[in-house]
Amino acid sequence: MNTMLSKALREFTTGPLNQLIVNLGGQDGDQWEQQFKQFLRKEPCWTNDQVMQVAEPKPTPSILELVSTIVVNATTGKLVAKEKFVRDTGHKAKVKISYLGDNFTSWFLNGDGKTEDLISEQTLRYHKLRQSSVDGPIIAELGGAEKSETTLSEMFSLMEKQGKGEDGVLLNNGYANIFYIKDNAGVLRSVNVNWNDDGWNVNANSVENPNRWNDGYQVFSRNCYLSSAQLAEVFFCRPFFQPPSCRPISSILPIKSEYLSVGIILLSHASCAKNFTISSFVIALFSIGILCSGGR
């Protein structure tokens, strides 16, 4: 991307203008607006007795370490969970499965079980847990439920590549491989698969389970990040650009995506010179922002 464009984008999103917007919209916004008005009038502002002591926020240590990404091939038909997830450790089994947990059976296999439509080629990211953690902080660091959600189709595709416990992307040393997948009722669950001597163990838990996943376990999620070129297009080229969905293309999974738009205020030189006030300036600052909406 053009160097000047990159610099402009960084300054907009991380520079003084962005910090001013944050301050004006914070709990001390009225004081910041008053001081800014004085600044515009070239009057003294932020005298010694008015300077606020703001503690530097402590950075939150990351609990995830990115390992790599993996491409999951497109499927050619629907996935019927009851047909794929069957206990079978025989020598003819394409995917040896030695255990299906009660929760997984109840949430994904009960009745007719879960069915997923075919999906296009997908790219997943996988991280290693740096420290033990419950699901909440993991999902938050992945970018929320939307970006952390994967599918049974993707998980089973990876299991097929290591059907007899071969080395591959999935850990086969007894450690858990964690996927966040919606069950047959549409509830997001943490599904874990781990190799245990003669086959894969598959289980599921509530994402609110108080038990922690151990460090060294592996977490899979949607590879959904805008490139710098896409960000530049969002900010400077297309006011109502909608990024492509990072979700699998499937009619059974509701398609949700974050919508990004940029507000632009168009003012003539005459009206600016005549009507410019701090209020309109503040409105302009907030209008030249990113408006996001997204569902879980």
pLDDT value at position 284? 45
pLDDT value at position 8? 64
Give me the chain's average pLDDT, please: 77
Q: In Å, how far are 10, 21, 83, 136 from 17, measured between CA atoms?
A: 11, 6, 56, 32
Kindly indicate the confidence band of residue 65, based on its pLDDT and cuts at 50, 70 and 90.
very high
CA 9 to CA 256: how far, in whole Å?
26
CA 99 to CA 194: how far, in whole Å?
10
Kindly indicate the confidence band of residue 50, based on its pLDDT and cuts at 50, 70 and 90.
low
* DSSP H or E stretch at residue 18: helix 16-24
Q: What is the pTM of this model?
A: 0.60
pLDDT value at position 263? 37
Residues 120-177 have pLDDT tens digits of 999 999 999 999 999 999 999 999 999 999 999 999 999 999 999 999 999 999 999 9
Sign of CA dihedral 175, 84, 81, 89: negative
